[in-house]
């Protein structure tokens, strides 16, 4: 097991890489990435299950980042896991680079979703959790997956999150674990100036299990993730109280934590230099991996190799015992749509659009077995 000293050191490594990416690009959002480093570090080094040799493995866990502006954090932890190089990080926000300012879906590098308007990552994750439940019902335990999501104060405030949260609780998506990075800071103000709702009670009312922790304490993060993995009835929201700009220092070397100014701009000059030094790095050579970081992610790579080998063996055994289901499984993930004779449809002149749509959906339903349809109280007319 990783020691807390190793985990804290690796989290500081992620902070240094994140602020250095923003500093080099002269643009970006360092503060949130610094606050969230502890969570993603524990998640990727101890919990997230994926195949390093085959990023497209169907049965992998998924991680959905809602606040796309925190991309430096995502790229940095993925670099620790071997998905990006340090040179990739140095090209953050540069034309043609594979590390754009807001992540764009790139499964081969570990990016599961494009992050745009806040709140969409919440809905991506809920949709993925529904799909995972559907696949497990069809194919059994070979499709046992956990869907992880990461959301910030701004994402929780967005209305799109309300609908996603409600349906997740209503469906009892116990395979969904969402970390709420609650640092109480936004770009322009503190969150208290724009919102006074009780987020924990809101999610509990929707049917979620809520766990509140210190989001910068690796042991509390680890314990919360274990509890979430054991939950068998509800989706889990882990509310982590984090520190915006964790470890940041000003030009005069006083604390730069919990300050709106670190949200959406480079730390700059002496503040950047002091911050990197405070976190145990070298401002003249910030793009490095600490020995502790190398050690815990090398250990995780070995663990994943064993986990994946066991899972692959189970998949092969299942396929031998269930050949027709195995064929269907391959079809589902082939990326190919079935051939449909659309000439069978007869649309009447001046027909209502909803009726025309219903005919199309009806024909699709006869041929596309992995189509999941939801309707906002309009299924009779859709």
> pLDDT, tens digit, for every residue of 294-312?
999 999 999 999 999 999 9
* Confidence band for 116, pLDDT divided at 50, 70 and 90: confident
Q: Quick one: pLDDT at residue 375?
A: 81
Cα–Cα distance for residue pair 273/134, rounded to 1 Å: 50
- The answer to whether residue 378 scores a pLDDT higher than 80 is no
Q: Quick one: pLDDT at residue 367?
A: 92
Q: Contact 184/245 with Cβ under 8 angstroms? A: no
Element (H, E) at 156: helix 153-157
- The answer to whether residue 242 scores a pLDDT higher than 90 is yes
- The answer to whether residue 7 scores a pLDDT higher than 90 is yes
Q: Quick one: pLDDT at residue 167?
A: 97
Closest-CA residue to 66 (of 103, 101, 100)? 103
The SS3 call for residue 344 is helix
Q: Quick one: pLDDT at residue 182?
A: 97
Segments making up each domain of the chain, as ranges: 4-308, 338-382
Q: Quick one: pLDDT at residue 140?
A: 98
Cα–Cα distance for residue pair 4/37, rounded to 1 Å: 14
Mean pLDDT of 169-197: 93
Q: Quick one: pLDDT at residue 192?
A: 86
Q: Quick one: pLDDT at residue 166?
A: 98
Least confident of 151-155, 191-195, 208-212: 191-195
Q: Which CATH superfamily is domain 4-308 in?
A: Thiamin diphosphate (ThDP)-binding fold, Pyr/PP domains (3.40.50.970)
Interior/surface letters 355-381, b for 16+ CB within 10 angstroms, e for the rest:
eeebeeeeeeeeeeeeeeeeeeeeeee
Q: Is 335 left (phi over 0), alpha (psi -120 to 50) or beta?
A: left
* Confidence band for 189, pLDDT divided at 50, 70 and 90: confident
* Confidence band for 382, pLDDT divided at 50, 70 and 90: low
pLDDT digits (tens, 9 = 90+) for 273-283: 999 999 999 99
What pTM was computed for the model? 0.96
- The answer to whether residue 338 scores a pLDDT higher than 70 is yes
Q: Quick one: pLDDT at residue 305?
A: 98
Interior/surface letters 243-253, b for 16+ CB within 10 angstroms, e for the rest:
bbbbbbbbeee
Closest-CA residue to 228 (of 242, 213, 238)? 238
């Amino acid at each position: 097991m990783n020691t807390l000293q190793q985990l804290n050191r690796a989290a500081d490594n992620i902070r240094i890489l994140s602020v250095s990416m923003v500093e080099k690009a002269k643009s970006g959002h360092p503060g949130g990435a610094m606050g969230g480093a502890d969570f993603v570090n524990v998640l990727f080094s101890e919990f997230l299950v994926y195949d390093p040799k085959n990023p497209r493995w169907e049965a992998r866990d998924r991680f959905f980042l809602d606040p796309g502006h925190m991309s430096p954090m995502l790229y940095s932890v993925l670099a620790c896991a071997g998905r990006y190089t340090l040179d990739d990080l140095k090209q953050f926000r540069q034309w043609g680079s594979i590390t754009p300012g807001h992540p764009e879906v790139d499964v081969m590098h570990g990016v599961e979703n494009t992050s745009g308007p806040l709140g969409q990552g919440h809905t991506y994750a809920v949709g993925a959790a529904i799909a995972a439940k559907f696949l497990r019902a069809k194919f059994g335990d070979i499709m046992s997956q956990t869907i992880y999501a990461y959301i910030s104060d701004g994402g929780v405030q967005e209305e799109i999150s309300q609908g996603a949260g409600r349906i997740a609780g209503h469906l009892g998506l116990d395979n969904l674990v969402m970390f709420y990075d609650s640092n109480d800071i936004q770009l322009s103000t503190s969150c208290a100036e724009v919102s006074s709702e009780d987020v924990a009670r809101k999610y509990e009312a929707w049917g979620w299990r809520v766990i509140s922790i210190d989001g910068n304490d690796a042991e509390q993060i680890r314990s919360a993730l274990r509890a979430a993995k054991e939950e068998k009835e509800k989706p889990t929201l882990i509310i982590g109280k984090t520190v915006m700009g964790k470890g940041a220092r000003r030009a005069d070397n006083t604390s730069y934590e919990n300050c709106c100014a670190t949200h959406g701009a480079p730390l700059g000059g002496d503040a950047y230099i002091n911050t990197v030094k405070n976190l145990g790095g070298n401002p003249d050579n910030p793009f490095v991996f600490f020995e502790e970081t190398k050690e815990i992610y090398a250990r995780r790579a070995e663990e994943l190799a064993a986990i994946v080998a066991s899972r692959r063996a189970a998949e092969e055994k299942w396929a031998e015992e269930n050949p027709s289901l195995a064929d269907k499984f391959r079809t589902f993930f082939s990326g190919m749509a079935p051939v449909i004779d659309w000439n069978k449809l007869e649309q009447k002149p001046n027909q209502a659009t909803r009726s025309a749509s219903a005919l199309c959906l009806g024909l699709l339903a006869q041929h596309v077995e992995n189509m999941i349809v939801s309707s906002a109280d309009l299924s009779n007319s859709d």
